[in-house]
Amino acid sequence: MSEHPPAAEPWPEPAALPVPDAEQEPPSGHPPARNYLARPEQRRIFWRFMPPALIAMLLLGWVERSWFASVPAPVRPQVDTKVAEVPADPNLADAIVIEAEPDPLPGDADEYGAPVDALARIRDDTVFRGAEEEAWFQIWMTLRSTDTRSLAKAPARRVSFTELFGQPRSYRGRLVRFRGTLHRLEKLSAPANPYDIKDYWQGWLEPEGGPVSPIVVYFLRLPDDMPHGMKISEQVDVVGYFFKRWAYAATDTVRIAPLVLALEPTWKPRPPDSPAGHSIGTIALVTMAAVVLLTMLGIRAAGSGPGRKQPPPPADLSATLSDVELFSPDEALRRLADSERLSDRSPAKEPLS
């Protein structure tokens, strides 16, 4: 009779190992490493820095508008350029107004661009008159006999619109200098004359410093490549001889304007427009908006790009062990003992009789 080995003592159950809590803080002195490529971390950085930056840009724009605002343009003086009507005596229906002969022009004859007796026949606040043709063409001959450099260096007095308009007799036939913007420039034919002057250029100039009323300037020639037409805007310097206060038909009534004869304008091509006129606040806001847009696009591209794979979902342990038979440690030892007894009774191990 064979003896059976004593049953094995049950193994003690192993002590449960402590499972670390996923949300447990790491030990002090060792902060967790941040993944700056993760979308939550990128969102955190975006919302931490972008709102303060936008607020700073708005404050800079407010400071610029409040403290560095452009100085408003000075109010230009207004001048009434309408032709004054001569009051008539109602008791004399057929009365004729005869203008008195003006006093001789003061000063040396060399100061004038035409003979003094020809200049004395000029009348202000009128259209061109036949009696003024001699002074008109004599001034053109004086201009044609000089050159641009000599006129630029000549002792011409710098005048304003108000001076020419208010003191026409003081400047009649004298050399004057002024600056302004040409808004209209067209070529006109000259009347028949023995001086071989066939045409000239008529320009309407807005004087620098105002008012908005024009100065009419006639030029004998123009610089090369200078624009001309009915709608231009060109800065020029003018040196020429004052002729008269000329009457012209405006859109509303008959008005008067100072009329000057010049050889040619001093003109320089205007440089192309630059963005310097844009305010600092506008540029800053546009730049910040572009940075915000690019940052958002970068975050989206980093989260959904082809090279970035999403982590696999966590495995379901219950589904994985659904086909596995689970038992306790006591049951496992019992089954191990039974398997050993069965192996001892196998025919290969029976004793021979």
Placement of tokens 């009696």 in the chain: 131
Tell me the pairing of strands 215-219 and 254-262: parallel
Q: Please, which pLDDT band fits residue 326 given cuts at 50, 70 and 90?
A: low
Scored b (16 or more CB within 10 A) or e, 138-168 reads: bbbebbeeeeeeebeeeebeebbbbbbbeeb
Q: Which two tokens stand for residue 73?
A: 């343009």
Placement of tokens 């036949």 in the chain: 130
Contact 109, 115 (CB under 8 A): yes
Placement of tokens 């709102």 in the chain: 51
Task: Tell me if residue 158 falls in helix, strand or coil.
Answer: strand
By percentage, how much of the chain surpasses pLDDT 70? Answer: 66
Model confidence pLDDT, tens digit, residues 95-135: 666 666 666 777 677 889 999 999 999 999 999 999 999 99
- Write the DSSP assignment of 181-240 as a string of letters: EEEEEEEEEPPP-TT---EEEEEEEEETT--SS-EEEEES---TT---BSS--EEEEEEE
Q: Which residues pair with 237 in a beta bridge?
A: 179, 266
- Sorted by where each starts, the structural domains of the chain and their CATH numbers stand as 109-267 (2.40.50.140)
Contact 240, 259 (CB under 8 A): no
C-alpha 88/C-alpha 321 separation (Å) is: 123
Model confidence pLDDT, tens digit, residues 28-44: 666 677 776 777 877 88
Q: Is the pLDDT of residue 333 over 50?
A: yes
Model confidence pLDDT, tens digit, residues 271-323: 765 544 455 556 666 777 777 777 777 666 665 655 555 556 655 556 655 56
C-alpha 291/C-alpha 46 separation (Å) is: 11
Q: Please, which pLDDT band fits residue 347 given cuts at 50, 70 and 90?
A: low
pTM: 0.59
DSSP-assigned letter for residue 286: H
Phi, psi of 238 (to 5 degrees): -125, 135
Q: Which pLDDT score, from 0 to 100, does residue 353 have? A: 46
DSSP-assigned letter for residue 93: T
Q: CA dist 34 to 31, 37, 42, Å? A: 9, 9, 11
C-alpha 24/C-alpha 28 separation (Å) is: 12
Model confidence pLDDT, tens digit, residues 131-171: 999 999 999 999 999 988 888 888 899 999 999 999 999 99
Q: Which pLDDT score, from 0 to 100, does residue 80 have? A: 83
